[in-house]
Structure formats: structure tokens, C-alpha cells
Amino acid sequence: MTDDPFRLFGAWYDEARAAEPNDPDAMALATATPDGRPSVRIVLLKGFEPHGFTFYTNAESRKGEELTANPFAALLFHWKSLRRQIRIEGPISEVSPAEADAYFATRSRDSQLGAHASRQSRPLDRRATFEAQYEEMKLRFSGRDVPRPERWTGFRLAPEKMEFWTDRPHRLHERRLFVREGDSWSEGLLYP
């Protein structure tokens, strides 16, 4: 047992990476509009450290616009094969342009080109339109590095609450809740 939620997250995440057959870094991201209308989707964790959990996206997508207008979110990791989940809540901030550039440079060329071709979350008349835009980007950047589009960035959730849920027989689950208090964490249990 540990009283450090990041150490516990790291241990569980390492186990998930060894045991989960697909996307152990997949997490549900819940956002809301300024008037409180929620939406949720799966994104991929690209980094975690004591100051937050980082993912990347198009800032002009629905999630990007919601995070800009209402900079609070929730994450959920669910590792079915391990019978565990982790819920995380907190404020959102944008990563620095240097961080976004560094991560964008690690993406496959096709993903980089796709980021330029996509008007993420906007209506699309037909698939062929997007495919044509992708081909146009291939030509535009032929023979040179693909720069990060300005609208493509990263966000970091700074956790204020982290709940670790473990499945137990007969729905007698275990729920450990960590709550940030300044620079430290308090820990308690929740009824299942």
C-alpha cells in the first residue's frame, strides 16, 4: 500500500501495460460546455507526472473548445482484464508550445499529415473529401518535415481527486479516494 496516488497509478498502469491486450493508455475524457452539458470520448494518455495527466488533440475540436471554455475535466481508466478502474478529476491547462512540438515530432508522418487534413469535429460531406485533403497535405509537405498545426496542442489535467476502484466478489468493491490538500494528499475509503 502507498499513500502516494501517483506511485499507485504508476504501479497499476505498468500492470495494465503488461496485461491489457489493447490500448492500456486509453482513458475516457469527460468535458462539459459552459452551461454544464457533458460529453465523453476516449483519448490516449501520453504522459503522467505529479503535476498532471497529458493528452493531445485539436484545440478546435469539440473537446478542445469545451476544455477552453470550461477548463475542468474528468478522466477514467478502465482495465477490464485487471478488474480495476481509476477516476481522476481536476482543472485543465494547455501544455507549452514546446511540449506540443516535441510530442508532435514523435507521431508517425501519416498522423502528422492527418492532423493538417482534419477539421476535427466539423461536418464532413463525404469521406472522399477528407481523403483528398490528406493527399493534398502529402504533396504540400513532400520531402520536408511536417510542422505542428497551430490548432493541434496538448492538455494537462492537474488532479484534485483520484479514486482507485478494485472489483471484489459480490459487489463488495474497494474504493480508495485521494484528495489533494495543497502539496499533499489525504486518503480515505468510500463505500462500494
- Mean pLDDT score across all residues of the chain: 95
Integer Cα distance of 89 and 178 in angstroms: 11
Task: Quickly state the pLDDT bin for 1 (edges 50, 70, 90).
Answer: low
CATH 2.30.110.10 corresponds to the domain 5-105+150-190:
yes
* Interacting residues of 72 by C-beta distance below 8 A, sequence separation 6+: 32, 89, 90, 91, 92
Strand segments, DSSP code E, in 59-147 are 72-79, 84-94
Residue 130: the pLDDT is: 94
Q: Is 171 a catalytic residue?
A: yes
Residue 21: the pLDDT is: 83
Integer Cα distance of 190 and 192 in angstroms: 6
CB burial readout 29-66, b (16+ within 10 A) else e: bbbbeeeeeeeeeebebbebeeebbbbbbbbbbbbbeb
pLDDT in tens, 95-145: 999 999 999 999 999 999 999 999 888 888 999 999 999 999 999 999 999
Q: Are 3 and 187 in contact (CB under 8 A)?
A: yes
Integer Cα distance of 13 and 23 in angstroms: 11
Residue 105: the pLDDT is: 97
Q: Exactly one of 126, 127, 144, 171 is catalytic; name it.
A: 171
Q: For the whole model, what pTM was predicted?
A: 0.92
Residue 121: the pLDDT is: 87
pLDDT in tens, 4-47: 999 999 999 999 999 988 899 999 999 999 999 999 999 999 99
Residue 3: the pLDDT is: 82
pLDDT above 70: percentage of residues in the chain: 99
Number of CB atoms found within 10 A of residue 137's CB: 20
Integer Cα distance of 145 and 164 in angstroms: 42
Helix (H, G, I), strand (E, B) or coil at 20: coil
